């Protein structure tokens, strides 16, 4: 399946595109949102896109040669400030983050993201760096595995599954998604019939392997610093852990600084840098009908204030 951009109209409206602005799409994927941004930009506007997945960067290469307003960079968005410094861009007019994995990543069994189809147990968004799920599962001890399953998947049978993984790998290396999915299913005493038993385990290992939550924290912080006053930050997340982080990051940056209420605030104290524009926006029934993968998507929008 090609990637259908999620909350497309909502995200583009929320960005309030200025024709000659400089925008940042931190998660290019297959460029669904990016092409919408380019359509709204005028001839002097610019769009810089990031993706940590080399296949997404390759998919953007043709567009980059055809449209001089567009540029693609192979990087994790936590490096946002370094890349903007290299490009000599002080501030951008708005930032989009459409988190998680794309349909092409999920649908390619060779990437190892899916428990629905068998493939090597990899799960790295950038297969050119870091540890694959297979390598990590071969080395981590049962406590570490259980911690990851609990912290990043809220898997209530985390200990049981971790023990089963350690036992199984003593007999044969754990190398494929089907092996892991079977093992996790067998280790669960109670099944949730609305979800595949391996859903939480796969989510947890993927988030951990790719450092996804710390990417979101660092990425939002950097985006707040490098967005101009009046510019919008638009973030689409796909599960509650991620959405909670986004909500808290926006909330923290939109609160007045804490101080002693009896003392006047010195001029130097920072004012809130964000103002929250919308709470959780969810896909319409029409969109869900067309694209069931959008079902857990949540969009949040904040606007950069004048504060330094
Ligand atoms: C949900 S898809 C984005 C889809 C895109 N908006 C579209 O319309 O085609 C997420 C993409 O972001 C990339 N990605 C996820 N986390 C990233 C990060 N921390 N830095 C850079 N890219 C990331 C993934 O590799 C994937 O290609």
Quote the domain boundaries for residue 145. 127-209
Query: Is the pLDDT assigned to residue 219 strictly greater than 80?
Result: yes
Judge if the beta carbon of residue 29 lies within 6 A of ligand 1: yes
Last residue of a domain, one of 194, 209, 224: 209
Judge if the beta carbon of residue 53 lies within 6 A of ligand 1: yes
Residue 283 lies in a domain: yes
CATH assignment at residue 253? 3.40.50.150
Residues 179 and 55 in one domain: no
CATH assignment at residue 163? 1.10.150.170
Residues 13 and 161 in one domain: no
pLDDT band, residue 191 (cuts 50/70/90)? confident
pLDDT tens-digit map of 259-275: 667 777 665 566 899 99
Q: Whose CA is nearest to atom 18 of ligand 1?
A: 76
| Residue 268: per-residue pLDDT | 54
Query: Is the pLDDT assigned to residue 199 strictly greater than 60?
Result: yes
pLDDT tens-digit map of 116-146: 999 999 999 999 999 999 999 999 999 999 9
Helical segments of the chain, H only: 8-15, 32-40, 54-66, 80-86, 103-107, 133-139, 142-153, 158-171, 177-187, 199-209, 212-225, 240-253, 285-290
Q: Which of 2, 24, 29 maximizes ligand 1 atoms within 8 Å of its Cβ, making it the mutation to test the pocket?
A: 29
The model carries a pTM of 0.95
Judge if the beta carbon of residue 46 lies within 6 A of ligand 1: no
Residue 116 lies in a domain: no
- The total of structural domains in the chain comes to 2
Q: Of all atoms in ligand 1, which is nearest to the CA of residue 53?
A: 25
Q: What is the DSSP string of 263-298?
A: SPPPTTSPPPSEEEEEEEE---HHHHHH-GGGTT-E
| Residue 259: per-residue pLDDT | 66
Last residue of a domain, one of 181, 209, 237: 209
Query: Is the pLDDT assigned to residue 3 strictly greater than 90?
Result: no
Q: Residue count of the chain, please give it.
A: 308
Query: Is the pLDDT assigned to residue 254 strictly greater than 90?
Result: yes
Last residue of a domain, one of 209, 226, 258: 209
CA of 49 to the centre of ligand 1 (A): 10
Residues 95 and 69 in one domain: yes
Judge if the beta carbon of residue 5 lies within 6 A of ligand 1: yes
- What average pLDDT does the segment 70-83 reach? 98
| Residue 267: per-residue pLDDT | 59
Judge if the beta carbon of residue 32 lies within 6 A of ligand 1: yes
What proportion of the chain, given as a percentage, has pLDDT over 70?
Answer: 96
């Amino acid at each position: 399946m090609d990637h259908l951009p999620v909350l497309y109209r909502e995200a583009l409206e929320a960005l309030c595109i200025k024709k000659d602005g400089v925008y940042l799409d931190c998660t290019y994927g297959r460029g669904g949102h990016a092409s919408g941004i380019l359509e709204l930009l005028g001839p002097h506007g610019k769009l810089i896109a990031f993706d940590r997945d080399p296949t997404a960067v390759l998919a953007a290469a043709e567009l980059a040669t055809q449209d001089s307003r567009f540029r693609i960079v192979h990087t994790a968005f936590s490096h946002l400030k370094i890349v903007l410094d290299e490009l000599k861009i002080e501030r951008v007019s708005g930032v989009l983050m459409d988190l998680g994995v794309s349909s092409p990543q999920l649908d390619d069994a060779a990437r190892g993201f899916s428990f629905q189809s068998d493939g090597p147990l990899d799960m790295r968004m950038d297969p050119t760096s870091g540890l694959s799920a297979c390598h990590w599962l071969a080395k981590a001890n049962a406590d570490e595995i259980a911690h990851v399953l609990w912290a990043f998947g809220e898997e209530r049978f985390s200990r049981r599954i971790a023990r089963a993984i350690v036992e199984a790998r003593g007999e044969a290396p754990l190398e494929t998604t089907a092996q892991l999915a079977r093992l996790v299913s067998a280790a669960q005493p109670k099944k949730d019939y609305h979800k595949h038993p391996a859903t939480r385990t796969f989510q947890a290992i993927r988030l951990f392997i790719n450092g996804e939550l710390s990417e979101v924290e660092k990425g939002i912080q950097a985006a707040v610093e490098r967005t101009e006053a009046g510019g919008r930050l638009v973030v689409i997340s796909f599960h509650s852990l991620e959405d909670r982080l986004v909500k808290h990051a926006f909330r923290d940056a939109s609160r007045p600084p804490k101080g002693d209420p009896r003392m006047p605030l010195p001029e130097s104290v920072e004012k809130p840098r964000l103002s929250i524009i919308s709470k959780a926006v969810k896909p319409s029934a029409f969109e869900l009908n067309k694209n069931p993968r959008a079902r857990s998507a949540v969009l949040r929008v904040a606007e950069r204030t004048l504060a330094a």
